[in-house]
Amino acid sequence: MIKYLTIAFVLILNVSLAQEKLNIVASASMISDMAEQIIGPLHDVEMIVAIGGDPHLHEPTPSNARMVAGADLVLINGLTFEGWITELIENSGTSAKVLTVTQGIQPLTSQTYKNSADPHAWMDVSNATIYADNIAQAMIQLDPKNTATYEKRLANYKAELVALDKEIEATIQSIPQQQRILITSHDAFQYYGKRYGIRLEAIMGISTEAQAQTADIKRVNKVIREQGVPAIFIESTINPKMMQQLAQDNKISIGGKLYADSLGDKDSPASTYVDMLRYNTQTIAAALKQTAEIDDSAHKNTTNYSFIIGLGVVLLLGLGLAIYLSNR
Ligand SMILES: [Zn+2]
């Protein structure tokens, strides 16, 4: 009897403990990973845009609305990254606190759209420490009895971020200076470039909504030829066709797949925020350290054309001479 009572008691205790778990909902996978690092097993963290999805273009589903409705805290990047989120939050009728995790960072202005901020602030690891601080503060407010745990986990995570920041800087600096040019599909790496000293060129702007323009492709083609860029990169959330065409046209390689707006899945080398930044950096450095021949293909084409024109002139002269001789 006592045994059964104990079992019943343990079951009730488990249920009540389970009910105490809070629901934390993050818009994108990078933010949900940062939240998990700080919260650990204390509460549940879910993401709205699934791994591999494009948060710029996400279309909220009814299950997203239910997720937000049941949330205690909603974490968003802001800076117009998730253009659809305000409506989703309003329509869900949630009473959750909404935290913009970029609050307190110095936003960069978009290179393409003069009046808007560039949302990709997480690409600079020193900003990620601000994201982490903001998340930890919100958790302490929401769940003050676990303050010590949040503070400890935050300190450990920030130490990891500081080490990562130094590691990325050293890796990028190991690429010969004139080869530090990063060419991607969309302009997600401005914060990264500014922090770690690498020049950026992208076909599309800071959002993936706009179509690439012929002028943009010409501009990037020119950079590749003039600077002898050895490789360009595709992104995990964007169709690689355009970059593959650009690489083929310039006879250069695709340096690899970078993760900018989403983590990779569990089996990928970029399943956490820290791994994502580390993997991107190693991929970029390995590809850009190769040497490319500056303007080689253009040069070869010119040679071929002069040869064909020369041959044509010789044939015409020969023909003219033959007609002249036969008419004498
Ligand atoms: Zn983006």
CA distances, 172 to each of 22, 40, 179, 189, 263 (Å): 40, 32, 10, 13, 21
Give me the percent of the chain exceeding a pLDDT of 90: 76
- How far apart, in whole angstroms, are the C-alpha atoms of residue 219 and residue 248? 16
Q: Would the pLDDT of 16 be above 90?
A: no
Mean pLDDT for the stretch of residues 223-240: 95
Residue identified by tokens 């205690």 is 72
- How far apart, in whole angstroms, are the C-alpha atoms of residue 308 and residue 198? 41
Between the CA of 51 and the centroid of ligand 1 the distance, in Å, is 14
Between the CA of 187 and the centroid of ligand 1 the distance, in Å, is 7
pLDDT in tens, 266-304: 999 999 999 999 999 999 999 999 875 554 444 444 445
Q: Three-class SS of residue 112? A: coil
The count of residues in the chain is: 328
pLDDT given at position 308 = 60
Q: Would the pLDDT of 12 be above 60?
A: no
CA distances, 243 to each of 114, 129, 186, 240, 261 (Å): 25, 32, 10, 6, 17
Residue identified by tokens 């702007």 is 205
Between the CA of 37 and the centroid of ligand 1 the distance, in Å, is 23
Between the CA of 296 and the centroid of ligand 1 the distance, in Å, is 33
In 159-270, the DSSP E strands lie at: 181-186, 199-204, 231-235, 253-258
DSSP classification of residue 117:
B
Looking at per-residue confidence, does 206 or 85 come out higher? 85
Between the CA of 237 and the centroid of ligand 1 the distance, in Å, is 9
Strand partners, 97: 73
pLDDT given at position 298 = 45
pLDDT given at position 151 = 98
pLDDT in tens, 165-184: 999 999 999 999 999 999 99
pLDDT given at position 327 = 74
CATH architecture of 176-288: 3-Layer(aba) Sandwich (3.40)
Between the CA of 204 and the centroid of ligand 1 the distance, in Å, is 10
Domain 2-170, CATH among 3.40.50.2000, 3.40.50.1980, 2.40.110.10, 3.40.50.2300:
3.40.50.1980
Between the CA of 201 and the centroid of ligand 1 the distance, in Å, is 14
DSSP 160-191: HHHHHHHHHHHHHHTS-GGG-EEEEEES--HH
Between the CA of 309 and the centroid of ligand 1 the distance, in Å, is 47
Q: CA nearest 139: which of 20, 19, 27, 38?
A: 38
Between the CA of 60 and the centroid of ligand 1 the distance, in Å, is 17
